[in-house]
Amino acid sequence: MKYYKTTTKYNCGIDLHTRQMYICVMDLDGNILVHRNIRNNDFGFFLKLVEPYKDDLTVTCESCFVCFWLADACEDAGIKFVLAHAFYVKSIAANKHKNDKEDARELTECLRTSRIPPAYVCPRDLRPARKLLRRRNKYVKNRAELTGHSTCEVMAAGNQPLTISANSKERWREGIRSSFDNPLDSFTAEMELSIVERYDEIIMKMEQRIEKHARDFKQQDYRLLRTAPGIGKILALTILYETIDIKRFPTVKDFISYCRLVCGTNESGGLDPAAGVECDHLFVSRGAGHRTGSNLADTEQEATQAANGSDTKRGSARVAEHGGDASADGAAAVWMRLEADGVRSAAGERC
């Protein structure tokens, strides 16, 4: 695990909530200089409290849905900010006594001793498009759950299973409507169909807005991703807005781990009870992974040749390390395309 190494004389941990934040400021020797609660998240009052230490101060808080305003405020105030990965900050949950005051002190202690596992702070100008992409993904999953439930209800009524595709939605809906004799069952099916149709309308509008506002972001990377089999317009933009900068991942292993395609280990006495448990995928779907992985040799060769001339051995070794897993292969293909474009751009700048 990677940890942030503090470089400032003073460090501040904040236990952040929607209506209050508990702050703790320490020096490098562990002496507590400020330790108090701030109601209504008054950042102006926070600046007054840390004014004597502001010029040599680092602030941290756990990653949560309300953390970005604090990151932006610290950036505007010229204060270093590091976002702590909430899942990996284990020491707070391990405390015998857990409250806001202790959480703030422990966060500061972790920062002072360079034990903060950092999370990435997405640039503020890219967050709206990323949020829209994530919300669209949520709605697609909700729609899939409803269509799956409707199809199961048809089979539960003793009918043949129905299939749905982009070209057969109307036939699928008519099949759902004609599958029930009981008026209440028909009414329930009709209500679910109404929700599915509404989701279709909303998702289409969201995709149109996404393509309008996001298509100018990293156009070269976007075009490279679209060359991978199984990666369409929205998936390519999702990958770009979740990755932001491929240089964040020095190796393909780092990128595949970020995509949650590498499970952690919990070994003790030579045994790992979590072995064989499948990891959650971040944005590289298994279907796209299978299609992308099938052409991975060509993908790797083209990307590596573009970056390094005829040297393809380096990329081949990377792919071989993943044991042929299709989703990992798909993520590796993505990384190689983006890395190749980055190397090519850097070479162009040097010329």
Q: pTM of the predicted model, to two decimals?
A: 0.76
What is the reported pLDDT for 276?
Answer: 53
What is the reported pLDDT for 141?
Answer: 95
Reported as a single tens digit per residue, the pLDDT across 84-111 is: 998 888 767 677 778 999 999 999 999 9
For residue 279, what is the DSSP state? P
Place of tokens 């890395």: 339
Tokens coding 304: 């590596």
- Which residue, among 16, 43, 29, 42, has the nearest Cα to 107 in the 3D structure? 16
CA-based radius of gyration for the chain: 25
Reported as a single tens digit per residue, the pLDDT across 24-65 is: 999 999 999 999 999 999 999 999 999 999 999 999 999 999
pLDDT grade for 226, boundaries at 50, 70 and 90: confident
**Is residue 313 pLDDT above 70, yes or no?**
no
Long-range Cβ contacts of 247-252 (<8 Å, 24+ apart): 247/342, 248/120, 249/335, 251/318, 252/318, 252/319, 252/331, 252/332, 252/335, 252/336, 252/339
pLDDT grade for 284, boundaries at 50, 70 and 90: very low
